[in-house]
Structure 1
Amino acid sequence: MTHANLMNNYFDPNSVYIEEDFRRHFLMRRHVFQHLLCDVQQVNPYFRQKWDRVGHPSFSPHQKVTIALRMMAYGSPADSMDETYGMSESTCLDTLEEFCDTIVQLYKDEYICELNQEDLNRLIRKTEDHGFLGMIGLLDCMHWD
């Protein structure tokens, strides 16, 4: 039922929420979510639909990715997902861990790189323009020269 509600609200052709609502709720566009979903399913079998021994479907890929994104984007605690998505705290934590590991595996070469001096100068200017002096030295408890 929770999968059906999620699909009806956000992913079906005549979904309850329009694109602007989707972007506000998920902090990304629907096509970006769909691309991300496809990528994680191809790399990690955890995000593919499975069935239990009596033939009931497990949590859908849409549910798993939604839960991981909600926990990261909003800082939602794992135990709060049970009310909305029917997923236990331990399963939510497993899902989040699988998602993070998969995202790093998928995108690290493209998006995670060591900053060069030009990148660092651009970030320093940007943060100082917004009043965040010294912010770069605080990232991940690293100290930059």
Structure 2
Amino acid sequence: MGGHIRLWNDYFSENPTYNQSMFCRRFRMNKPLFLRIVSSIENGVPYFTQRPDATGRLGLSALQKCTAAIRMLAYGCAADALDEYLLSQKTYSGRLQQLLNIGEHRGFPGMVGSIDCMHWEWKNCPTAWKGQYARGSGKPTIVLEAVASQDLWI
């Protein structure tokens, strides 16, 4: 929620931090057009409506999602380059602490998630593929990965 409020105060409030000229430079369009796009998408595309996540907390607002999408298109950048309005440090820290507490309660102190890999001998590997899947032993193996995270424990 902090990211939405910060975004609103910076660009859309009565006295925004950044003026109309700065808005046009950052989003490559004027504010009324941007807000019309947000409204249309929010009402027509289910992904852009704000919904609670698995823990019951509200996810990103339509304004945040549209801001990210439009800035990605305008600048050709990755989503994680836009974190200033998508993530609130307080929210992230709180969620991380919650995951650490759950891990500790289940006997895994300090674990947020875990990934483990192992090579498994592939006895029926096609002859033509054996060279691609062989390691130092000369026997073909495939890599099995196991992931454990909070999402899988609920």
* Offset from partner CA, 1:20-52 (integer Å, 9 cap, x none): 111111110000001001111121121112123
SS at match of 2:18: coil
Which residue matches 2:42?
Answer: 41
1:16–1:67 distance in 2 versus 1, CA, 3 Å: same
The number of aligned residues is 87
* Offset from partner CA, 1:81-124 (integer Å, 9 cap, x none): 3455229xxxxxxxxxxxxxxxxxxxxxxxxxxxxxxxxxxxxx
1:22–1:15 distance in 2 versus 1, CA, 3 Å: same
Please tell me whether Structure 1 or Structure 2 has the larger radius of gyration of its CA atoms.
Answer: 2
Letter aligned with residue 24 of structure 2: R
Which of 16-25 and 72-81 deviates more? 72-81
Letter aligned with residue 9 of structure 2: N
What does 1:1-145 align with in structure 2 at a 5 Å threshold?
Answer: 1-82=2-83, 85-86=86-87
Aligned-pair CA distance for 1:56:
2.0
Gaps of 5+ in 1: 88-145
Letter aligned with residue 4 of structure 1: I
RMSD: 1.9
1:43–1:84 distance in 2 versus 1, CA, 3 Å: closer
Determine which structure has the larger strand proportion and give its number. Answer: 2
Mapped partners of 1:20, 1:51: distance in 2: 35
Letter aligned with residue 48 of structure 1: T
1:23–1:70 distance in 2 versus 1, CA, 3 Å: same
Mapped partners of 2:57, 2:42: distance in 1: 20
Gaps of 5+ in 2: 89-154
What's the % identity of the aligned pairs? 37
Mapped partners of 2:77, 2:58: distance in 1: 25
Mapped partners of 1:85, 1:53: distance in 2: 18
